Structure 1
Amino acid sequence: MTDLFMQNPVYTVMALAGTILFFIKILLLFFGGDSDFDTDLDIDMNGDHIDGGDTFSIVSIQSILAFFMGTGWIGLAAIHEWKLTNGQSTIAAALFGVIMMLFSSFITFKIKKFNSIPKVDIKEAVGKVGRAYTNIPSKGQGVGQVEVTVGNKQQILQASSVDEAINSFDGIVVVQVDDSGNLLVKKS
Protein backbone atom coordinates (compact mmCIF):
# COMPACT_ATOMS: atom_id res chain seq x y z
CA MET A 1 0.00 0.00 0.00
CA THR A 2 2.88 2.37 0.78
CA ASP A 3 4.35 1.61 -2.64
CA LEU A 4 1.01 2.44 -4.27
CA PHE A 5 0.82 5.71 -2.36
CA MET A 6 4.37 6.70 -3.37
CA GLN A 7 3.70 6.00 -7.07
CA ASN A 8 0.30 7.76 -7.29
CA PRO A 9 -0.43 9.80 -4.17
CA VAL A 10 -3.24 11.85 -5.74
CA TYR A 11 -5.31 8.86 -6.89
CA THR A 12 -4.60 6.95 -3.68
CA VAL A 13 -5.72 9.82 -1.43
CA MET A 14 -8.79 10.45 -3.60
CA ALA A 15 -9.74 6.76 -3.54
CA LEU A 16 -9.21 6.15 0.17
CA ALA A 17 -10.51 9.48 1.48
CA GLY A 18 -13.46 9.46 -0.91
CA THR A 19 -14.41 5.89 0.02
CA ILE A 20 -14.04 6.36 3.78
CA LEU A 21 -15.93 9.67 3.83
CA PHE A 22 -18.62 8.31 1.47
CA PHE A 23 -19.32 5.37 3.78
CA ILE A 24 -19.27 7.63 6.86
CA LYS A 25 -21.84 9.83 5.08
CA ILE A 26 -24.00 6.79 4.35
CA LEU A 27 -23.74 5.59 7.97
CA LEU A 28 -24.72 9.04 9.24
CA LEU A 29 -27.70 8.94 6.91
CA PHE A 30 -28.83 5.59 8.29
CA PHE A 31 -28.17 6.24 11.98
CA GLY A 32 -28.21 9.98 12.44
CA GLY A 33 -30.71 11.36 10.00
CA ASP A 34 -29.71 13.70 7.18
CA SER A 35 -26.10 14.78 7.54
CA ASP A 36 -26.16 17.00 4.46
CA PHE A 37 -26.96 20.64 4.26
CA ASP A 38 -29.52 22.05 1.87
CA THR A 39 -29.44 25.31 0.00
CA ASP A 40 -32.19 26.89 -1.99
CA LEU A 41 -31.30 28.92 -5.04
CA ASP A 42 -33.63 31.75 -5.94
CA ILE A 43 -32.22 34.22 -8.48
CA ASP A 44 -34.06 36.80 -10.56
CA MET A 45 -31.98 38.38 -13.31
CA ASN A 46 -33.79 40.44 -15.95
CA GLY A 47 -37.08 38.70 -15.26
CA ASP A 48 -35.67 35.17 -15.57
CA HIS A 49 -36.47 33.12 -12.50
CA ILE A 50 -34.39 30.18 -11.31
CA ASP A 51 -35.58 28.15 -8.35
CA GLY A 52 -33.57 25.26 -6.95
CA GLY A 53 -36.03 24.01 -4.34
CA ASP A 54 -36.95 20.34 -4.99
CA THR A 55 -35.14 19.98 -8.30
CA PHE A 56 -32.50 17.53 -9.43
CA SER A 57 -29.25 18.58 -7.71
CA ILE A 58 -25.94 17.33 -9.08
CA VAL A 59 -23.74 19.01 -6.49
CA SER A 60 -24.07 17.63 -2.97
CA ILE A 61 -21.60 16.32 -0.43
CA GLN A 62 -22.53 12.76 -1.35
CA SER A 63 -22.07 13.30 -5.10
CA ILE A 64 -18.70 15.05 -4.58
CA LEU A 65 -17.52 12.14 -2.44
CA ALA A 66 -18.73 9.71 -5.12
CA PHE A 67 -16.71 11.69 -7.69
CA PHE A 68 -13.52 11.48 -5.60
CA MET A 69 -14.07 7.80 -4.83
CA GLY A 70 -14.69 6.86 -8.49
CA THR A 71 -11.90 9.04 -9.83
CA GLY A 72 -9.35 7.65 -7.37
CA TRP A 73 -10.11 3.98 -7.88
CA ILE A 74 -10.37 4.15 -11.68
CA GLY A 75 -7.22 6.30 -11.84
CA LEU A 76 -5.32 3.62 -9.91
CA ALA A 77 -6.80 0.83 -12.03
CA ALA A 78 -6.02 2.67 -15.28
CA ILE A 79 -2.36 3.11 -14.38
CA HIS A 80 -1.61 -0.17 -12.60
CA GLU A 81 -3.98 -2.70 -14.20
CA TRP A 82 -4.70 -1.31 -17.65
CA LYS A 83 -1.21 0.18 -18.13
CA LEU A 84 -2.55 3.45 -19.55
CA THR A 85 -0.44 6.60 -19.76
CA ASN A 86 -0.89 9.39 -17.21
CA GLY A 87 -2.98 11.44 -19.66
CA GLN A 88 -5.21 8.51 -20.60
CA SER A 89 -5.68 7.51 -16.97
CA THR A 90 -6.59 11.09 -16.02
CA ILE A 91 -9.26 11.22 -18.74
CA ALA A 92 -10.64 7.78 -17.78
CA ALA A 93 -10.64 8.69 -14.08
CA ALA A 94 -12.33 12.06 -14.62
CA LEU A 95 -15.02 10.55 -16.88
CA PHE A 96 -15.75 7.78 -14.42
CA GLY A 97 -15.81 10.29 -11.53
CA VAL A 98 -18.42 12.38 -13.37
CA ILE A 99 -20.48 9.24 -14.07
CA MET A 100 -20.32 8.31 -10.36
CA MET A 101 -21.33 11.87 -9.42
CA LEU A 102 -24.32 11.79 -11.80
CA PHE A 103 -25.32 8.31 -10.64
CA SER A 104 -25.18 9.34 -6.97
CA SER A 105 -27.26 12.46 -7.68
CA PHE A 106 -29.78 10.46 -9.71
CA ILE A 107 -30.23 7.88 -6.94
CA THR A 108 -30.61 10.61 -4.31
CA PHE A 109 -33.19 12.39 -6.50
CA LYS A 110 -35.19 9.17 -6.97
CA ILE A 111 -35.12 8.39 -3.24
CA LYS A 112 -36.30 11.91 -2.36
CA LYS A 113 -39.05 11.66 -4.99
CA PHE A 114 -40.07 8.23 -3.65
CA ASN A 115 -40.21 9.54 -0.08
CA SER A 116 -42.12 12.72 -0.88
CA ILE A 117 -45.68 12.72 0.36
CA PRO A 118 -48.16 13.97 -2.21
CA LYS A 119 -50.19 16.91 -1.02
CA VAL A 120 -53.90 16.17 -0.77
CA ASP A 121 -56.68 18.71 -0.46
CA ILE A 122 -58.45 17.62 2.73
CA LYS A 123 -61.67 19.24 1.50
CA GLU A 124 -61.97 16.31 -0.94
CA ALA A 125 -63.03 14.22 2.07
CA VAL A 126 -66.43 15.94 2.27
CA GLY A 127 -69.14 13.42 1.34
CA LYS A 128 -66.80 10.43 1.66
CA VAL A 129 -67.81 7.36 3.64
CA GLY A 130 -65.37 5.77 6.06
CA ARG A 131 -65.23 4.35 9.56
CA ALA A 132 -64.37 5.60 13.02
CA TYR A 133 -60.82 4.60 13.89
CA THR A 134 -61.19 5.58 17.55
CA ASN A 135 -64.17 6.60 19.64
CA ILE A 136 -65.41 10.06 18.71
CA PRO A 137 -67.11 11.97 21.56
CA SER A 138 -70.43 13.72 21.01
CA LYS A 139 -70.53 17.26 19.58
CA GLY A 140 -68.25 19.67 21.43
CA GLN A 141 -66.79 17.01 23.75
CA GLY A 142 -63.50 16.34 21.92
CA VAL A 143 -61.97 14.71 18.89
CA GLY A 144 -61.31 11.20 17.69
CA GLN A 145 -59.96 9.72 14.48
CA VAL A 146 -61.56 8.37 11.32
CA GLU A 147 -60.29 6.31 8.42
CA VAL A 148 -61.25 7.83 5.07
CA THR A 149 -59.96 7.51 1.51
CA VAL A 150 -58.81 10.91 0.24
CA GLY A 151 -56.77 11.41 -2.92
CA ASN A 152 -56.81 7.65 -3.67
CA LYS A 153 -55.08 6.97 -0.36
CA GLN A 154 -56.60 5.68 2.84
CA GLN A 155 -55.79 8.10 5.64
CA ILE A 156 -56.40 8.40 9.35
CA LEU A 157 -57.52 11.92 10.18
CA GLN A 158 -58.78 13.81 13.24
CA ALA A 159 -62.54 14.19 13.41
CA SER A 160 -65.29 15.59 15.59
CA SER A 161 -68.90 14.48 15.66
CA VAL A 162 -71.62 16.89 14.53
CA ASP A 163 -74.15 15.29 16.91
CA GLU A 164 -73.97 11.99 18.87
CA ALA A 165 -70.90 10.01 19.99
CA ILE A 166 -69.54 7.49 17.49
CA ASN A 167 -67.93 4.20 18.55
CA SER A 168 -64.79 2.75 17.01
CA PHE A 169 -65.38 0.87 13.73
CA ASP A 170 -68.83 2.46 13.18
CA GLY A 171 -69.47 3.75 9.67
CA ILE A 172 -69.22 7.52 9.21
CA VAL A 173 -69.85 10.18 6.58
CA VAL A 174 -67.75 13.35 6.36
CA VAL A 175 -70.04 16.35 6.53
CA GLN A 176 -67.58 19.22 6.55
CA VAL A 177 -63.96 20.25 7.18
CA ASP A 178 -63.48 22.95 9.83
CA ASP A 179 -60.93 25.79 9.69
CA SER A 180 -58.31 23.80 11.61
CA GLY A 181 -58.45 20.86 9.17
CA ASN A 182 -60.48 18.54 11.42
CA LEU A 183 -63.24 16.57 9.77
CA LEU A 184 -66.81 16.95 11.05
CA VAL A 185 -68.56 13.59 10.75
CA LYS A 186 -71.81 11.81 11.52
CA LYS A 187 -72.82 8.13 11.66
CA SER A 188 -73.66 6.68 8.27
Structure 2
Amino acid sequence: MPDYITLENIFLVLAVFSTIFYIIKMCLFLFLGGDVEVHTDFETLTDCDPSFNFFSIQSILAFFMGFGWVGLTFLTQMETSSWIAFTVAFVVGVIFMFISAWLMFMIKKLDKNVKIDMNDYVGTVGRAYTSFKPNSSGQIEITINDQLSVLDAVNLSDEEINAFMPVKIEKYENNIIYIIKV
Protein backbone atom coordinates (compact mmCIF):
# COMPACT_ATOMS: atom_id res chain seq x y z
CA MET A 1 0.00 0.00 0.00
CA PRO A 2 1.41 3.45 -0.92
CA ASP A 3 2.67 5.72 1.86
CA TYR A 4 0.10 8.43 1.15
CA ILE A 5 -2.85 6.10 1.88
CA THR A 6 -3.09 6.41 5.63
CA LEU A 7 -6.08 6.37 7.96
CA GLU A 8 -5.53 10.07 8.58
CA ASN A 9 -5.73 10.85 4.84
CA ILE A 10 -8.81 8.62 4.44
CA PHE A 11 -10.57 10.49 7.26
CA LEU A 12 -9.53 13.83 5.75
CA VAL A 13 -10.73 13.00 2.22
CA LEU A 14 -14.05 11.61 3.49
CA ALA A 15 -14.57 14.65 5.72
CA VAL A 16 -13.80 17.28 3.08
CA PHE A 17 -15.65 15.74 0.15
CA SER A 18 -18.71 14.68 2.13
CA THR A 19 -18.94 18.15 3.69
CA ILE A 20 -18.75 19.82 0.28
CA PHE A 21 -21.38 17.51 -1.21
CA TYR A 22 -23.57 17.82 1.91
CA ILE A 23 -23.56 21.61 1.63
CA ILE A 24 -24.34 21.43 -2.11
CA LYS A 25 -27.17 18.95 -1.45
CA MET A 26 -28.63 21.14 1.32
CA CYS A 27 -28.50 24.23 -0.90
CA LEU A 28 -30.25 22.36 -3.70
CA PHE A 29 -32.88 21.10 -1.25
CA LEU A 30 -33.50 24.53 0.27
CA PHE A 31 -33.48 26.60 -2.91
CA LEU A 32 -34.86 24.19 -5.51
CA GLY A 33 -37.16 22.12 -3.31
CA GLY A 34 -36.80 18.66 -1.91
CA ASP A 35 -39.27 16.81 -4.04
CA VAL A 36 -39.17 15.51 -7.56
CA GLU A 37 -42.31 14.94 -9.55
CA VAL A 38 -42.32 12.36 -12.29
CA HIS A 39 -45.38 11.99 -14.46
CA THR A 40 -45.84 8.70 -16.28
CA ASP A 41 -48.43 7.22 -18.62
CA PHE A 42 -48.67 3.86 -16.92
CA GLU A 43 -50.07 2.42 -13.72
CA THR A 44 -47.83 0.95 -11.06
CA LEU A 45 -48.51 -1.06 -7.96
CA THR A 46 -45.66 0.44 -6.00
CA ASP A 47 -46.27 3.07 -3.40
CA CYS A 48 -43.75 4.55 -1.04
CA ASP A 49 -43.51 7.39 1.41
CA PRO A 50 -40.03 8.92 1.25
CA SER A 51 -40.71 11.28 4.16
CA PHE A 52 -38.45 9.32 6.54
CA ASN A 53 -35.75 7.66 4.50
CA PHE A 54 -32.85 6.67 6.74
CA PHE A 55 -30.58 5.59 3.87
CA SER A 56 -30.84 8.68 1.69
CA ILE A 57 -28.01 10.51 -0.04
CA GLN A 58 -28.38 13.23 2.59
CA SER A 59 -28.02 10.88 5.55
CA ILE A 60 -25.14 8.92 3.99
CA LEU A 61 -23.29 12.19 3.35
CA ALA A 62 -23.97 13.17 6.97
CA PHE A 63 -22.53 9.83 8.11
CA PHE A 64 -19.30 10.30 6.14
CA MET A 65 -19.05 13.92 7.26
CA GLY A 66 -19.32 13.02 10.96
CA PHE A 67 -17.18 9.90 10.49
CA GLY A 68 -14.43 11.81 8.70
CA TRP A 69 -14.18 14.86 10.95
CA VAL A 70 -14.46 12.96 14.24
CA GLY A 71 -12.07 10.25 13.08
CA LEU A 72 -9.55 12.85 11.96
CA THR A 73 -9.89 14.73 15.25
CA PHE A 74 -9.47 11.63 17.41
CA LEU A 75 -6.52 10.43 15.36
CA THR A 76 -4.57 13.69 15.10
CA GLN A 77 -5.63 15.96 17.98
CA MET A 78 -6.32 13.39 20.69
CA GLU A 79 -3.67 10.99 19.42
CA THR A 80 -5.73 7.87 20.11
CA SER A 81 -5.20 4.50 18.49
CA SER A 82 -6.63 3.76 15.06
CA TRP A 83 -9.26 1.39 16.47
CA ILE A 84 -10.57 3.90 19.00
CA ALA A 85 -10.64 6.67 16.38
CA PHE A 86 -12.44 4.40 13.92
CA THR A 87 -14.98 3.18 16.50
CA VAL A 88 -15.81 6.64 17.84
CA ALA A 89 -15.98 8.02 14.29
CA PHE A 90 -18.38 5.24 13.28
CA VAL A 91 -20.69 5.88 16.26
CA VAL A 92 -20.70 9.63 15.64
CA GLY A 93 -21.33 9.03 11.92
CA VAL A 94 -24.40 6.93 12.74
CA ILE A 95 -25.62 9.66 15.10
CA PHE A 96 -25.14 12.24 12.32
CA MET A 97 -27.08 9.94 10.00
CA PHE A 98 -30.02 9.76 12.43
CA ILE A 99 -30.00 13.51 13.01
CA SER A 100 -29.94 14.24 9.28
CA ALA A 101 -32.77 11.80 8.57
CA TRP A 102 -34.81 13.22 11.44
CA LEU A 103 -34.27 16.81 10.26
CA MET A 104 -35.37 15.93 6.72
CA PHE A 105 -38.43 14.18 8.15
CA MET A 106 -39.34 17.27 10.18
CA ILE A 107 -38.77 19.62 7.23
CA LYS A 108 -40.91 17.49 4.91
CA LYS A 109 -43.58 17.27 7.60
CA LEU A 110 -44.00 21.04 7.32
CA ASP A 111 -45.02 20.58 3.69
CA LYS A 112 -47.96 18.26 4.41
CA ASN A 113 -51.37 19.41 3.25
CA VAL A 114 -53.84 19.43 6.11
CA LYS A 115 -57.44 18.50 5.40
CA ILE A 116 -59.83 20.80 7.22
CA ASP A 117 -63.48 20.00 7.87
CA MET A 118 -65.15 23.40 7.51
CA ASN A 119 -68.27 22.08 9.28
CA ASP A 120 -66.23 22.32 12.49
CA TYR A 121 -65.95 26.07 11.92
CA VAL A 122 -69.65 26.83 11.49
CA GLY A 123 -70.45 29.55 14.02
CA THR A 124 -66.91 30.92 13.99
CA VAL A 125 -66.53 34.68 13.76
CA GLY A 126 -64.05 36.22 11.34
CA ARG A 127 -64.04 39.36 9.25
CA ALA A 128 -64.82 40.27 5.68
CA TYR A 129 -61.68 40.60 3.61
CA THR A 130 -63.58 42.13 0.69
CA SER A 131 -66.94 43.87 0.49
CA PHE A 132 -69.98 41.64 -0.07
CA LYS A 133 -73.05 42.84 -1.91
CA PRO A 134 -76.31 41.16 -0.82
CA ASN A 135 -76.32 37.45 -1.79
CA SER A 136 -72.94 37.71 -3.55
CA SER A 137 -69.51 36.21 -3.04
CA GLY A 138 -66.27 37.61 -1.70
CA GLN A 139 -63.51 36.65 0.71
CA ILE A 140 -63.30 36.37 4.48
CA GLU A 141 -60.41 36.18 6.94
CA ILE A 142 -60.73 33.48 9.57
CA THR A 143 -58.35 31.79 11.97
CA ILE A 144 -58.11 28.04 11.32
CA ASN A 145 -55.71 25.94 13.40
CA ASP A 146 -54.04 29.11 14.75
CA GLN A 147 -53.36 30.32 11.21
CA LEU A 148 -55.09 33.26 9.56
CA SER A 149 -56.67 32.11 6.29
CA VAL A 150 -58.42 33.97 3.49
CA LEU A 151 -61.30 31.92 2.08
CA ASP A 152 -64.03 32.42 -0.51
CA ALA A 153 -67.51 32.87 0.95
CA VAL A 154 -71.07 33.84 0.00
CA ASN A 155 -73.17 36.47 1.79
CA LEU A 156 -76.47 34.89 2.89
CA SER A 157 -78.09 38.12 4.02
CA ASP A 158 -79.90 40.78 2.04
CA GLU A 159 -77.65 43.52 3.36
CA GLU A 160 -74.23 44.63 2.19
CA ILE A 161 -71.18 43.68 4.26
CA ASN A 162 -68.28 46.12 4.08
CA ALA A 163 -64.66 45.00 4.13
CA PHE A 164 -63.18 44.32 7.58
CA MET A 165 -66.61 44.02 9.23
CA PRO A 166 -67.13 41.03 11.55
CA VAL A 167 -68.90 38.08 9.94
CA LYS A 168 -69.99 34.67 11.17
CA ILE A 169 -69.93 31.40 9.24
CA GLU A 170 -73.59 30.42 9.14
CA LYS A 171 -73.31 27.16 7.21
CA TYR A 172 -71.08 25.11 4.95
CA GLU A 173 -72.69 23.22 2.05
CA ASN A 174 -71.34 21.83 -1.22
CA ASN A 175 -67.86 23.25 -0.53
CA ILE A 176 -69.27 26.77 -0.16
CA ILE A 177 -68.98 28.89 3.00
CA TYR A 178 -72.09 30.96 3.75
CA ILE A 179 -71.70 33.95 6.05
CA ILE A 180 -73.86 36.54 7.78
CA LYS A 181 -73.04 39.94 9.26
CA VAL A 182 -72.46 39.93 13.03
Return the TM-score normalized by structure 2.
0.76
1:10: which partner in 2?
Answer: 10
Deviations 1:34-77 (A, max 9, x none): 2679xxxx99xxxxxxx964864423222111101011111222
Q: Answer whether contact 2:12 2:68 (CA < 8 A) is retained.
A: yes
Identity %: 33
Alignment counterpart, residue 150 of structure 2, candidates 141, 156, 173: 156
Deviations 1:53-109 (A, max 9, x none): 486442322211110101111122222222233322221211110011112222333
Q: Answer whether contact 1:173 1:187 (CA < 8 A) is retained.
A: yes
1:126 and 2:122 matched: yes
Gaps of 5+ in 2: 38-44
Deviations 1:151-171 (A, max 9, x none): 454432110112434220122
Gaps of 5+ in 1: 44-50
Q: Answer whether contact 1:136 1:159 (CA < 8 A) is retained.
A: no
Return the TM-score normalized by structure 1.
0.74
1:187 and 2:181 matched: yes
Q: 1:21 to 1:5 in 2, by over 3 A?
A: farther
Q: 1:82 to 1:169 in 2, by over 3 A?
A: same
Q: 1:75 to 1:5 in 2, by over 3 A?
A: farther
Deviations 1:3-40 (A, max 9, x none): x9643443222111110011111222332222679xxx
Q: 1:146 to 1:108 in 2, by over 3 A?
A: same
